[in-house]
Chains A and B, each alone.
Chain A
Amino acid sequence: MEIKVLFTILIGTIFINNFVLYQMLGLCPFLGVSKKLDSALGMGLAVIFVMTLASFITFLVYKYILVPYDITFLRTISFILVIAALVQLVEMVIDKVSPSLYQALGIFLPLITTNCAVLGVAVLNINSGFLDTDLGLLKSVIQGFGGGVGFTLALLLMAGIRERLELAEISDNLRGLPITFITAGLLALAFLGFAGMKI
């Protein structure tokens, strides 16, 4: 039973409520880093990592610090500071442990602090009512992970399309952002098809 619930959350956040294409979170990096496939993959992996970790920590901070002391109004400020510190920490750890991974992901990490998908998932975890349910922590972590995977999926699809768009003959005025948005719109329409999925 619980497995089913967790699976529903995972599939739901990846396909049905895709963070980029349905909830419209994390659009800045979606547009900024989707020009090449390999950089899109690097960004995607970094985001999955940070979102999963951020869900874990912000949930604990909210449940065991903010709620007991009745300071839930500090939610936004504490979450963003936790995320900023987390990103810094991850950056330093990766740099020490694996310089080659740092070279691949390094340039994307500072950008993640202002990726609204990360703060978005932290706030959503609280708003989804996971706080008082059993396995709330696991549910939030799964939502964070699924959100990251969904983001990466959208980013990779977009990057694949944009690499081909570079070669297509389109009107000069449509080049760059306008055609990217229209493509994103078509992708979002396609993803709406998942809404009918029964789990």
Chain B
Amino acid sequence: MNYWQEFVKGIWKKNPILILGIGMCPTLAVTTSVSNALWMTMATTMVLVCSNILVSLVKGFVPGHIRIPIFITIIATFVTVVELTLNAFQPAVYKALGIFIPLIVVNCIILGRAEEFASKNSIILSVFDGIGMGLGFGVTLFVLAFVREILGANKLFGLTLIPGMQPSSAMIIAPGAFFTLGLMLWGMNYINSRKKD
């Protein structure tokens, strides 16, 4: 039961983006297409789970005042592993995500979970927490990318939806990202306030 709770909390109750409001940069920048969003989710979740495991493993040995640099080193190592792997085996994805792969290091979700959860809990719990948070991150990214790709590129999964229609290119660049996320947060507040009544 406990494991299940740690797993599902990331998706709605403690959704890293919608509720905690962290990890915004990759959320907005890579959601230009659904496939980018899915690859970003995979890369981030991979790093998140691995760093959660390792942080949880070494939590007894790390002196308190230098824990942050050590966590950052651990995270950066996993990010580089992901970076090299993508570069070698998925070059198209590597190019599409660009500088947002190295920037996974400074995604506050990962350092936040290491500091807040993994350094205080057992390995198995940390794994569940990592997967749940990654999933919550992924769901948000997917919805954003879904809306933006349809409106901004007239496409879904890279395939044209309505031939000959000119899409609204503002949706694919920064303004569209901000608007979509703003409306999503509004919708979520609305649902939550209805629940309370």
Q: Given A77-B73, A77-B76 in contact, is the A116-B179 Cβ separation under 8 Å?
A: no
Question: Within residues 151 to 191 of chain B, which ones have a CB less than 8 A from any CB in chain A?
Answer: 170, 173-179, 181-183, 185-186, 189-190
Query: Which of A74, A116, A174, A188 has most B Cβ within 10 Å?
Result: A116
Q: Does B29 contact A (CB under 8 A)?
A: yes
CB of B103 within 8 A of CB of A21, answer no
B-contact bits for A3-26, CB 8 A (1 contact / 0 none): 000000000000000000111111
Q: Tell me, in angstroms, the Cα distance from A22 to B177 when the chains sit together.
A: 10
Residues of A within 8 A of B76 (CB): 76-77, 80-81
Q: Does B84 contact A (CB under 8 A)?
A: yes
Q: Tell me, in angstroms, the Cα distance from A173 to B184 when the chains sit together.
A: 11
Q: Tell me, in angstroms, the Cα distance from A68 to B178 when the chains sit together.
A: 42
CB of A123 within 8 A of CB of B103, answer yes
The number of residues on chain B lying at the interface, defined by a beta carbon within 8 Å of a beta carbon of chain A, is 42
Q: Tell me, in angstroms, the Cα distance from A188 to B174 when the chains sit together.
A: 6
Q: Given A76-B105, A182-B178 in contact, is the A174-B186 Cβ separation under 8 Å?
A: yes
Q: Tell me, in angstroms, the Cα distance from A115 to B181 when the chains sit together.
A: 20
Residue from A21, A25, A123, A177 within 8 A of B25 (CB atoms): A25
Question: Within residues 41 to 83 of chain B, which ones have a CB less than 8 A from any CB in chain A?
Answer: 68-69, 72-73, 76-77, 79-80, 83
Residues of A within 8 A of B179 (CB): 181-182, 185
CB of A186 within 8 A of CB of B175, answer yes
CB of A24 within 8 A of CB of B106, answer no
Residue from B79, B98, B175 within 8 A of A185 (CB atoms): B175
Residues of B within 8 A of A184 (CB): 178, 182
Q: Tell me, in angstroms, the Cα distance from A39 to B68 when the chains sit together.
A: 25
Question: Within residues 72 to 130 of chain B, which ones have a CB less than 8 A from any CB in chain A?
Answer: 72-73, 76-77, 79-80, 83-84, 98-99, 102-103, 105-108, 111
CB of A24 within 8 A of CB of B186, answer no
Q: Given A77-B76, A84-B72, A181-B185 in contact, is the A192-B175 Cβ separation under 8 Å?
A: yes
The number of residues on chain A lying at the interface, defined by a beta carbon within 8 Å of a beta carbon of chain B, is 43
Question: Within residues 20 to 62 of chain A, which ones have a CB less than 8 A from any CB in chain B?
Answer: 21-28, 31
Q: B139: shortest Cβ distance to chain A, in Å?
A: 18
Give A186's nearest chain B residue, CB to CB: B175
CB of B22 within 8 A of CB of A24, answer no
Q: Does A172 contact B (CB under 8 A)?
A: yes
Residue from B72, B176, B186 within 8 A of A178 (CB atoms): B186
CB of A182 within 8 A of CB of B182, answer yes
Residue from B21, B105, B173 within 8 A of A80 (CB atoms): B105
Q: Does A161 contact B (CB under 8 A)?
A: no
B-contact bits for A155-178, CB 8 A (1 contact / 0 none): 000000000000000001110011
Q: Does A119 contact B (CB under 8 A)?
A: yes
Q: Does A127 contact B (CB under 8 A)?
A: yes
Residue from A22, A124, A192 within 8 A of B99 (CB atoms): A124
Q: A50: shortest Cβ distance to chain B, in Å?
A: 13
Give me the interface of B with A, judged by CB distance under 8 Å.
21-25, 28-29, 68-69, 72-73, 76-77, 79-80, 83-84, 98-99, 102-103, 105-108, 111, 170, 173-179, 181-183, 185-186, 189-190, 193
Give me the interface of A with B, judged by CB distance under 8 Å.
21-28, 31, 73-77, 79-81, 84, 113-116, 118-120, 123-124, 127, 172-174, 177-182, 184-186, 188-189, 192
